[in-house]
Chain A
Amino acid sequence: MTDTLTLPPRTGPTPSRRPHLISGPATGLFLAALLAGLVAALVVGISIGSVNLPLGQVWGVVWAHLTGRGAQADPLLSQVVWEIRTPRALLAALSGAGLAVAGVALQALVRNPLADPYVLGVSSAASLGAVLVPALGGTALAGAFGVTGAAFAAAMLSALLVYVLSQRSGRLLDSWLVLTGVAVGYLCAAATTFIQLQLNPGELQGMMFWLMGSVAGASWPDLGVPALLIAVCVAWLALQVRALNALMAGEEAAIAIGVPVAALRIGLLVAGSLLTATVVSVVGGVGFIGLMIPHMARFVVGADHRRVLPVSLLAGAVFLVLVDLAARIADRPNELPVGIFTTGLGVPFFLWLLRRRVKGGGDAA
């Protein structure tokens, strides 16, 4: 046929407005600003602690170690900054980034913005795996896995269970996935509570703190494995951003567009579980980041994963560095678990953002 028809345009009732708070070329600037914010948060986070250190000296020590030259005036100062505070701040950044990206992966997996590592039971399972190791004492099983390995194994096992139970005639049902995840999460939480009751009070104190989340006591060797695993997961997700966008339009639409949906969903489940288990096994249960940060990213830059992924990654890192800072200075010289702060600071801010968004546009994500 020679002439193709064109439907007559329907003009909209209102003049066009910018669809997202930040779009187009401004996105690059926003990412640069987030990166600068992360560096600033890290430096501030390193300088403040039981003893406050001048920013200039902190920067001097970090610079000296990064470049391998410069005067190292005070060995004690150098040790506090480089051996204690820097790994702690970096672990907070890594954990925040990992949890935020886990949220992006899991929300795309179930196409439900309410999904996060907690909703799908992955966090609870990882915690159960982690408490099992001290509970089993020095048995061969516990020794072979270690806390990280046990948390990861439990997280993957629960994710697999949830995934299999949510299938119906070869299709993954989103609503079942959430319901099954919540149920498995409760089961793991109950088992964790039972194990805690078997421990003596001394062990319990440490375990409670750990279950609420903490980046205290981080050292350089603790950073390697999480950094590697998070880098691998983020790199894989970065290759899938277009497919994730297509998946948001529904399973059948994604198949029609050419996305290998089944393989993609298995990959998302593995990546989400791996990220969650990695973080939970190192810093314990830190809630809400996986749910909240991707939402905030979408509020600001829209739902396109080409922007949501990098923004979530950086915003999650900045957020947990700042939260760890707050946890250290709120009740000096005591430290509070960061889990209290992620939720305590996060929930009011999130609700405010949500209300504001609904009032402004009527299209809350």
Chain B
Amino acid sequence: MRLDLAGVSARIDARLIVDDVTLTAGPGEFVALVGPNGSGKSTLLRTVYRSLRPSAGIVRLDGRDLWRMRPRQAARHRAVLPQHGQAAEGFTAAEVVAAGRYSHKRSLARETSADRAAVGTALDRVGMGWAADRLVTTLSGGERQRVLLARALAQEAPLLILDEPTNHLDVGSQLLLLDLIRSLGLTLLAALHDLDQAAAYADQVVVLRDGRVAGHGPPAEVLTPAFIEEVFGVRAHVGPHPLTGRPHIAVASPVTMPDEPTTTT
């Protein structure tokens, strides 16, 4: 599944939030969207998961206009892990994940063995098979996030959109989640807060600033110390990760933190 955004602009209350963004995610490619708060990452993603219609430009999936598809058809092409994933009260984890099968079902059709298998597989894959019959409200924040990811996986769509998927997760869960989504073979478009994670996991990064693309390309080419300082206002060190050898970005405040620990007398 190939995702193309061509000249996409988006407005909220007539205010231009996303301005003429063009980007491409090839089949199986992981594209990370990074940028400071308010740079338009979430708003741009909303145009891809059809919650906000672009004021200009076009979103294409394998060349077809996403906004001209019917809702169920669109859902069979792209799944979403939203930023503010809510756990509705009174639902078990399996019932939440089963909602992801909506686009594969007719209104009155009974659940088939294929549906149940998809739900079970998705829950197992995120390590939550044990929680199938638990109420989601009894699970921890990290566990709920896994259940919501399982719902997106049960949709069986070739494109997965993630809006800050590692929010609210402990550091181990963050890395496991990124490893997992990378291993799925899906086309991925994810807004990420953590530059280091974007550099380590993404094939391409797109840097947004004030709703415009400030830079895009492979992380090693785009995320240079000078560019990071220009966009994010922090000092940065870029080098191979001491443990993994992947690109590694360490950042520091430009003003308040001294280079070396100092002692005062």
Contact = CB atoms under 8 A, between A and B. Distances in A.
B161 to A, nearest CB: 8
A298 B96 CA distance: 15
A252 B46 contact: yes
Contacts of A298: 90
A19 B75 CA distance: 29
Nearest to A169: B13
A361 B179 CA distance: 35
Given A9-B128, A169-B12, A255-B51, A363 B183 contact: no
A58 to B, nearest CB: 37
B118 interface: no
B82 A252 contact: yes
A303 B176 contact: no
A113 B143 CA distance: 24
Interface in B69-88: 71-76, 78-80, 82, 84-88
DSSP class of A's interface residues: helix, strand, loop or mixed? loop
A6 B146 CA distance: 12
A324 interface: no
Given A5-B179, A239-B107, A302 B92 contact: yes
Given A258-B74, A363-B138, A304 B95 contact: yes
Interface string A165-196: 00011100000000000000000000000000
Contacts of A364: 89
B28 A9 contact: no
Contacts of A113: 89
B50 A255 contact: yes
A4 interface: yes
B131 A257 contact: no
Contacts of B137: 363
A245 B130 contact: no
A304 B96 CA distance: 9
Contacts of B138: 361-363
B80 A256 contact: yes
Given A4-B184, A252-B51, A19 B133 contact: yes
B72 A258 contact: yes
Given A242-B102, A298-B90, A302-B91, A18 B133 contact: yes
Contacts of B180: 5-7
Contacts of B152: 256
A12 B99 contact: no
B217 interface: no
16 contacts: A4-B185, A7-B125, A9-B129, A10-B130, A11-B130, A245-B98, A246-B99, A249-B86, A250-B84, A255-B49, A255-B50, A257-B75, A258-B103, A303-B89, A363-B138, A365-B89
Interface of A: 1, 3-12, 16, 18-20, 111, 113, 168-170, 238-240, 242-243, 245-246, 248-253, 255-260, 298, 302-304, 361-365
Given A256-B152, A257-B100, 20 more contacts: A4-B184, A6-B126, A8-B176, A10-B143, A11-B130, A169-B13, A239-B108, A245-B91, A246-B99, A250-B86, A252-B46, A252-B84, A253-B82, A253-B86, A253-B151, A256-B80, A257-B102, A258-B74, A303-B90, A365-B90
Q: 5 smallest A-B Cβ distances: which pairs?
A: A258-B75, A303-B90, A256-B80, A7-B127, A258-B103
